[in-house]
Amino acid sequence: MEVFGEQAGRGRVKSRVPAGPSGGSGQDVGVADVLVVEDERDIRELLRRYLERDGHSVMTTSTGAQALLALVDQPPDLVLLDLGLPDIDGIEVLAAAKAAGISVIALTARSSVEERIDGLSRGADDYVVKPFSPQEVVLRVAAVLGRGAGVADDGVLSFGGGRLRIDSVRHRASLSSRDLELTPSEWGILVALAATPGRVYSRAELVNRARGYEYSGFERTVDSHVKNLRRKLGPEGAAIVETVLGVGYRLGLERDR
C-alpha cells in the first residue's frame, strides 16, 4: 500500500490494493484507479473502503486544487467528484477531468432535476445524490467503467442468464423483463446481495451495505423487507434471495459473464 500523507484532512492519499478473486464484487476486472474528491472525511473514507474492497486502487483528496494536481500527476480511470467543494467549484474539476478523457461520477446534495441535468450536460457520466448507499456507488463505478463481469454495454448488471437485471444508473431492476417496483430498503438489500452473488450476508452487514451505517431499527426489520422483496420477485423469490439458517441471506443467481 502506498500512502501520500494527509494533513488535517486536506491532503491526498493513495492506496493500492491488488484485485483478486476475493474482491468485493466478485469481478475479475483488474485494478482501476479511482480518485475520490470529497471534503467530508467520513464520506471520503467510507467510499475508499468500499472501493478498495472491490479491488480498486483509490486516491482521495478533500479539495479541488489537489484534485486538479492529481489529474495531471496521477491521472485516474474515474473520478468520484463532490461538486460542493470548499475551495473551487466542482464543475471546474469536472471540466478538467473530461478534457483529459477521464470518466466522472458526480456526488452532490443538490437533488433538483435542473441541477442534475446541468451536471450531466457538462460531461458527468453519472450523478449520485446524497445520502447514498456506498454499495450502489460501487456498482455505478463498475457500470461506468464497463469492465465488470456481467456489465452490459448499457451499464446494466445481469444475473441468471439475463433473468435478473439491475440498472444502478437508472435505479431500476427487472426479473424476466418485468419491472420490479422496489422501496428504497428493498432496492438497497437487492443491490447489496448482488454485489457478490453466493456470498452470505448477515443482517448487520445488509444494514451497513444498504444504508452505509449501523441502524438497529432497520436491522430488526430486515426480515420483513426480504419477505416483501421475495413477494415482488414472484414464485422464485425464495430461490433468488436465499436464506442461510442462523447466518443471513445470499443471492441465489450467478452473475452473467
Q: Is 53 inside a domain boundary?
A: yes
Q: Is 125 inside a domain boundary?
A: yes
Residues 167 and 135 reside in one and the same domain: no
CB atoms near residue 85 (< 10 Å): 22
**217 three-class SS:** helix
Residues 111 and 61 reside in one and the same domain: yes
Residue 5 has pLDDT above 50, yes or no: no
What CATH number corresponds to the domain at position 85?
A: 3.40.50.2300
Residues 231 and 122 reside in one and the same domain: no
Q: Is 131 inside a domain boundary?
A: yes
What CATH number corresponds to the domain at position 218?
A: 1.10.10.10
Residue 127 has pLDDT above 60, yes or no: yes
Q: Is 19 inside a domain boundary?
A: yes
In angstroms, rounded to a whole number, what is the distance separating the alpha carbons of residues 21 and 3? 24
Q: Is 4 inside a domain boundary?
A: no
pLDDT per position as a tens digit, 203-251: 877 776 666 555 555 556 888 999 999 999 999 999 999 999 988 999 9
Residues 194 and 117 reside in one and the same domain: no
Q: Is 175 inside a domain boundary?
A: yes
Range of the domain at 99: 12-145
pLDDT per position as a tens digit, 147-184: 444 455 456 888 999 999 988 767 789 999 999 999 88
Residues 68 and 114 reside in one and the same domain: yes
Q: Position of cell 449520485? A: 128
Residues 98 and 58 reside in one and the same domain: yes
Decide: 165 and 158 in contact? Cβ < 8 Å.
yes
Residues 16 and 129 reside in one and the same domain: yes
Q: Which domain-ending residue is among 145, 166, 201?
A: 145
Residues 43 and 166 reside in one and the same domain: no
User: Which residue, among 161, 253, 154, 153, has the nearest Cα to 199 in the 3D structure?
Assistant: 253
Question: What is the per-residue DSSP string for 149-183?
Answer: TTB-TTS-EEETTTTEEEETTTTEEEETTEEP---
Residues 91 and 212 reside in one and the same domain: no
Query: What pLDDT was estimated at residue 239?
Result: 95
Decide: 146 and 155 in contact? Cβ < 8 Å.
yes
DSSP label of 180? P
In angstroms, rounded to a whole number, what is the distance separating the alpha carbons of residues 185 and 221? 10
- What's the total number of domains in the chain? 2
pLDDT per position as a tens digit, 46-58: 999 999 988 889 9
